[in-house]
Chain A
Amino acid sequence: MTLMTCGPQAISTLCQSYASQGFRLQTMMATDERRIHGHYVLRYAFVHDATGHSVVLETAVPHDSPHYTAVTPALPAANWYEREALDLLGLFPDGHPEPFPLMLHGDLAANANPYPLRKEVDRAVSLPSVSRSLSVEAVPDGEFEVPVGPIHAGVIEPGHFRFHVRGEDVQSLDVTLFYTHRGLEKGAEGLTFAEGLAVAEQTCGVCSASHGAAFAQAVEAICDAHIPERAMWIRLLVLELERLYNHIGDVGNICAGIGFSFGVMQAGILKEKLQRHNARLTGHRFLRNMMAIGGVARDVPSDLAAHTGHVVQETMSAFSGLVNVLLSNEIVCDRFRQTGILALDVVRQYGVVGPAARASGYLADARLTQPSGAYSDKEVQTLLHVPTFPDGDVMARVLQRIEESSVSATLIGLAVAKLRSLPKADGDSSLVTPMVTPAPYEWALGVTESPRGENVHFVMTGPNGTIDRLRIRSASYANWPAVAKAVPGNIIADFPLINKSFELCYACCDR
């Protein structure tokens, strides 16, 4: 990893030069380091997906005049990060094209916003309740807006979509998110790493394991610790199980978007069976409480591992039957093809990650580019044939998930074999490498590939082994802006399908 420092006015140019070399903006961290250095710090993390090379560009933003040159005009991917830094820390991106509140809804005038992530502000500081001003935008004659959300029909997380339409054809789509912004990062400040791990796992209900692993990896990187081999493989097993149940559940959800009840119900059964097995394996249906700093919290005995392999095999054979039915149905294929095309340009521009990027022909997978733990194992790397599809439509994203599930199943098979061949754990303590208390104000990034794409956790230590700053960038955060770009040109009735084909999570985006 390369670290570079520059002034707040030069950051834009520097970011632009890296972006033009093919680097992808991975995340941006804004931290209040006034107590240490007397200024705020912005860190733009870039990664080169072909080589895995990563760069962090750092700039200091003065405390008395918190302004810097916005990167967004040159690099649209930076949009939300910079608005978030404005909302939560009060750092002003000069020249930003949309300097509006992002996370804290309503008209929060600068004096009403205490900038909750600033260190002197209490975690439970009360903000004025949301009053959304009804700006009556003049829409062109004959056009109108269709508002959907935040409370959706069905069981969907909250987000507000506003379609500008003239009948069925969508002209443009505005997405308002961050309804479920819980203040998780502020909440994590001052907690111990173990407590922070629990918070990280609750970032997202359905990517708990990968968020937990990312957090743990970040802390382990700070402490320069290596986890035991058995724990490594258990982590891989859990992460791939998470991918599997998510992907199968997502295929079912996509079927719900087109009313194909067979797919919904069969995938529902498969997902339920996997989740029940999750509970058996980890004690939690969503694979929580499995990760630990420096290893894993529970062992997977070899009989349970063997059973896991069996369950996964069974699931995969049933799933392939479902896939056959799905892909041989003309209506289903007609609905999937040419719907919601995400162009490769947009993927590059917005730094899209995960299956969505790969289904548009852009290979970015943290397991390949920034592998850690068992993923760096040679055998895993040879088995890890991450597929890509060039079309970028719903069909591509469905096929992407289907193909990735079988890759996951293969990896699970490998992990099961490893767990059966490795020496048994000598009590749960042998699965954790003991940690030394790290120095304060050290930071590192932890990167995992969740079912939705790359999760990046930035952890900065505080005194006495506490967390000073946690910045979670989930795959959904990177991908949401791209959804809005895939919708215009489609008819409004296809939106649920397009949205489900991305199957992004709101909670881990909003935090």
Chain B
Amino acid sequence: MKAMHVLASTLTALLCAAITALGWTALQGVSEVFWTYHVIPNSPLLIVFRIQPLAGLFLCLLGVSGVLSAIYGIGYHNEYRTRRYGILLDLGILLFIVAMAAVLLAADVFTFMLGWEAMSVISFLLVIYDHRKPGNLQSGLVYAIMTQIGSAFLLVAFLVLYAYTRSLNFATFAAVAHTLPPDVQSVIFLCALIGFSTKAGIMPLHVWLPRAHPIAPSHVSSLMSGVMIKTALFGFLTVVILWFGGGATWWGLTVACLGGVSAITAAALAARATGIKQILAYSSIDNMGLIFLCTGVAMIEFSMRDTPLAMLALLAALWQTWNHGLFKTALFHGAGAILYATHTDSLNRLGGLARSMPKTSIAFSILLLSWSASPPFGGFSGEWMMFTALSTAAEHHLHGPMGILDVIALLALFFTAALTAWAALRVYGIGFLGQPRTVAARDAREVPRTMRIALWMGATLTLVSGLAGAFLIARLAKALTGIAGRVAPVPSALANGPLSPVTVPTAFVLIFAATVTAWTLIRLAQGKTSTRTVPTWTCGGERTPSMQYSGNGLSQPLERAWPLLATPLATQWLYRPAYAWVLRTATRFRKIQSGNVRSYLVYLFATIVLLLIVARVGGGVR
């Protein structure tokens, strides 16, 4: 059994390595169709794969995350070893990765939707892998429902495109989409926005994300948060940038606003949630928000024909996509390690892990630093790029209304950064430092080696992408030159900022040198002064675990000072009324609701088949 499992994981890792190589090739600027297969001869139902530069980054991300998750899964599997269908988890992950690759490589509507649906269904199944735990099934269903709503909107967008272009081929769309009547373009844009932002977790369509990510096995959460939600970004960029070249100004405005609101709100929610995986899930929303914010700014600049600025913003969005994907994958692995060691991820029940599992905790701390945008890690590089893009835009439009918008975008960025630092500090300070609050945390031990290797690989990669950020951004910029039909060099004035290949490494070396010098000087001057260990000072009394600051305690000032920031607005004003309505309706259909997982799966597949048929028929009627 163990052998099977290692074999499956190795296979996955190899496949992912291949995907990474493919992505790297795409980043060379290659763009070609490399595989075509007729599902039904002489029909438009083709499976067509094609690589192109934009997908390169996402493929690399998928590959790297996949490799990490596969390695991680070998050790993490112990957590699930007692299950009968343990091997199914490995296979599920393999299929999940294949499905995501299919989405990224798809060259026509059918391939894309097939991959998209496969991705959704497999991820749904993986999310409810632990379906015996109370509440998990409900959360999984929220995911399934939301994802199907999203798919429906995507189908509508594609159908409209098909109606006007008589083609299902993406290349055709790219060629003629921007010639469609503006109203039609807008309809397509809105449908794509709803469809993709549901998957990307943009507010207010994010509700499934903080429910689904925490309950999935951790390496599945990794792939979902690190990669899957990015495939939605890829799809969205394909539609609005590659096909429509940015579209109307209000498109970008809408996207930027949604992104900014998502970023701040989700970051505030992340700063006050108590489950580590839930915090990470909210943080995925806020990062996607920032990425969409930059995308929106890029769209606006495209629409205003300011291509260098647009490219800069796009580059920032993509660079953050890469960095977020990387550290979030690894962070979920870290959260999984905590679950593995303590069987809880509630901050209020952890504490003291830095002493009981130091190797894991140091890797985790690096990832948290990256997440909180501390130099010189990847998260910092990504944020600097976004700052550069937004401040350059603000400077460029200083005397116009767009300048004000850019300043607001900058404010959103800073608030999100500060809230993220809050969340990261909480996770580490409450979860890993201090004394254990519960027996479970006290008895924590280091996790299996493969899990630690995956964690450390993630930590190293995020450090490398921080230090070598300038090189990677340059490669990305080169690959993207010429997308949307425009040649766009990156503004050269930024050579001193994140695009300077020396700054961040210099800072790193300088700080390291200062630290070591301080240490050496003190050693030389004072010799080895003695160090003594005594209990933490509690004003002359004894200490109990109940005196540890709790996760809720650390976020309470936020809740008190800005209650609005910490209220789940979408849930209160959108979903709860909608849910109430659905519930009222659903009571009439109680008969078909058996509560059995298998019957839900049947419904799900039925929906997909139905949707595909609609696509086929809808395409054929015209």
Contacts and interface: CB of A to CB of B under 8 A. Distances in A.
Contact of A144 (B538, B542, B550): B550
Interface in A99-141: 132, 134-139, 141
B552 interface: yes
Contact of A168 (B539, B545, B551, B557): B557
B540 to A, nearest CB: 3
B553 A147 contact: no
Contact of B556 (A134, A149, A168): A168
A149 B541 contact: yes
B555 interface: yes
Interface string B504-542: 000000000000000000000000000000000011111
A142 B540 contact: no
A205 interface: no
B553 A166 contact: yes
Q: How large is the interface on B (under 10, 10 to 19, 20 to 34, 35 or more residues)?
A: 20 to 34
Nearest to A136: B544
B541 A136 contact: no
A167 interface: yes
A160 B547 contact: no
Contacts of A146: 547
B547 A145 contact: yes
Nearest to A142: B552
Contact of A147 (B274, B541, B559): B541
Contact of B552 (A137, A145, A158, A166): A166
B546 A144 contact: yes
B549 A144 contact: yes
B348 interface: yes
Nearest to A138: B546
Contacts of B349: 141
A142 B551 contact: yes
A138 B349 CA distance: 12
B557 A142 contact: no
Nearest to B558: A167
Nearest to A141: B348
B554 A167 contact: yes
A144 B548 contact: yes
Best-surrounded residue of B541, B548, B560 (most CB of chain A within 10 A) = B541
Contacts, number: 73
A461 to B, nearest CB: 40
Given A136-B545, A142-B550, A144-B547, A168 B540 contact: no
Nearest to A146: B547
B348 A142 contact: yes
A337 interface: no
A166 B550 contact: yes
A6 to B, nearest CB: 42
B539 A150 contact: yes
B553 A134 contact: no
A146 B551 CA distance: 14
A136 B546 contact: yes
A165 interface: yes
Contacts of A167: 552-557, 559-560
A137 B553 contact: no
Contacts of A149: 539-541
A396 B557 CA distance: 28
A134 B547 CA distance: 12
A169 interface: yes
A150 to B, nearest CB: 5
Interface in A139-184: 139, 141-153, 158, 160, 165-169
A145 B550 CA distance: 9
A136 to B, nearest CB: 5
Nearest to A135: B544
Contacts of B346: 141
Contacts of A169: 556, 560
Nearest to B561: A168
B544 A145 contact: yes
Nearest to B551: A142
Contact of B538 (A139, A147, A153, A158): A147
Contacts of B540: 149-151, 158
A152 B554 CA distance: 23
A147 B547 contact: yes
A180 B556 CA distance: 36
Given A141-B348, A144-B550, A145-B547, A166 B542 contact: no
A385 B153 CA distance: 80
A114 B544 CA distance: 30
Given A147-B538, A149-B539, A149-B541, 13 more contacts: A134-B544, A137-B546, A139-B546, A141-B346, A142-B348, A142-B550, A142-B551, A145-B544, A151-B539, A167-B553, A167-B559, A167-B560, A168-B557
21 contacts: A134-B544, A136-B544, A136-B546, A141-B346, A142-B348, A142-B551, A142-B552, A143-B550, A143-B552, A144-B549, A144-B550, A147-B538, A147-B539, A147-B543, A147-B547, A150-B541, A151-B539, A165-B553, A167-B552, A167-B556, A168-B556
